[in-house]
Every structure is written in structure tokens, then in C-alpha cells.
Amino acid sequence: MSMKPHGLEPIPQATMNLARKSSPKGTVIMRLRDAVGPIYQDEAFAHLFAKRGRPAEAPWRLALVTVFQAMENLPDRQAAQMVALRLDWKYALSLEPEDEGFDYTVLSQFRQRLLEHQAAELVLEPLLAVCREQGWLKAGGQQRTDSTHVLACVRSLSSLESVGETLRATLNAIAEVEPAWLREQMDDTKSPSVW
């Protein structure tokens, strides 16, 4: 694939109108584009692509899609679908409303190019710089990493939900086979006082 550098394209008017109409307050993705504007420039990625060949998708778009994908924890296939379907993504990527996006394999190929050329900082560094400029990251602050605690809580809730669903399914099965017995068990006089 070859790459011919283009600057950040302006947001098409039709996309802007539809996005603002559907989300008057904007989404996180739209606010990010409005706040930071051009984070990435194609020229920074030029050395990752051949001089000749089939034209590649604009690297600045792929870098932004990679960031959005990480923000929303999406696999490649779903991220490519978001490019084709979501107006806020089209807004941020300067795409027309009818743009069909690209094949999901383009994302893994882009990341592979970054890895092969040890160029992951091309995506990370500009994003960090913009976050610092906007005051979203503060130097010298203490960073909290509660991820293990949060994951443990989520796991506990998931287990509790599984137990609840199992109990519900069991009661439904009993209700079909022995409804009278189930009604006896649910009699208010036999219920513990904590209910």
C-alpha cells in the first residue's frame, strides 16, 4: 500500500448538520475532535508506507479510529462498523454521512505497520501532548490504578447475577411442573421475617 499525505480534512457540512441535530450537546468523540482538532498528520506516518501501490486509508484517520477503538474497548470488526454507522465517528474523521468506511482488516494492518517500524509513539505521543495541553492530564499528580479492585467487583457482580439467573430459571421450571407446591413455599406466613 502507498500513502499520499493529505492534511486534516474539514468536517463535511452534511455530516456536521446531522451530527449536531442527532446530538445537540455532542458526544465524547465529537467534543474530542472539536477540542483538539488535528492530532495526527499523515506526514508523520509516511515512512510506514511504500512509495507505490494501492492507496492506503489516511493514516491520521486510522490513528484516530485506533484511539476511539481503545476508548470504547471495541474489536477491529466493530470499530470498522462504527466508522460506517456512527455519525459522531464520521464527524471526527471528516467523512460524508454516506461514507461506507473500510474493511476491518485495515486496522490490524495499520497496527502491524506501527509495530514493525517500532512507531507506536506516533499514535501515543500526540495524544498525550494534546491531553496535557487541554488539562486532561496533569504532571506530577498521583495516578490511581484501581483496576484490580474494579475487576474483582465486576467479577463478584457477574457471579451474583449468574446465581440470580439460575434461581429464576429454576423457579420458572418448578412453576411449570409443580405450581401448587411453589405457591405453598411462597406463602407469606412461612416466609422469614427479613423479607
Helices of type H across 5-101:
13-22, 28-36, 59-72, 76-85, 87-92
* Secondary structure (3-state) at 53: coil
Tell me, what's the pLDDT at 18?
Answer: 93
* Contacts (Cβ under 8 Å, ≥6 apart) of 8: 37, 38, 40, 41, 60, 94
How far is it, in rounded angstroms, from Cα 81 to Cα 68? 12
Q: How far is CA 59 from the centre of its chain?
A: 18
12-56, pLDDT tens digit by residue?
999 999 999 999 888 888 888 887 666 777 677 777 766 655 556
Cα separations in angstroms, 16 against 11, 22, 61, 80, 108:
6, 10, 17, 20, 29
How far is it, in rounded angstroms, from Cα 33 to Cα 61? 12
Cell of 68: 476511539
Which residue ranges make up each domain of the chain? 13-133, 147-190
% of the chain with per-residue pLDDT over 70: 72
How far is it, in rounded angstroms, from Cα 20 to Cα 27? 10
% of the chain with per-residue pLDDT over 90: 16
Tell me, what's the pLDDT at 186?
Answer: 76
Please report where in the chains the cell 449468574 appears, as a residue.
162
128-169, pLDDT tens digit by residue?
887 777 777 766 655 555 556 666 666 666 677 777 778 888
Cell of 170: 429454576
Band the pLDDT of 88: cuts 50, 70, 90: very high
Per the prediction, the chain carries an average pLDDT of: 78
Residue 170: in which H helix or E strand, if any? helix 147-177
How far is it, in rounded angstroms, from Cα 80 to Cα 101? 7
Q: Which residues pair with 2 in a beta bridge?
A: 50, 55
Phi, psi of 2 (to 5 degrees): -110, 160
User: Is there a contact between 97 and 18 (Cβ–Cβ < 8 Å)?
Assistant: yes
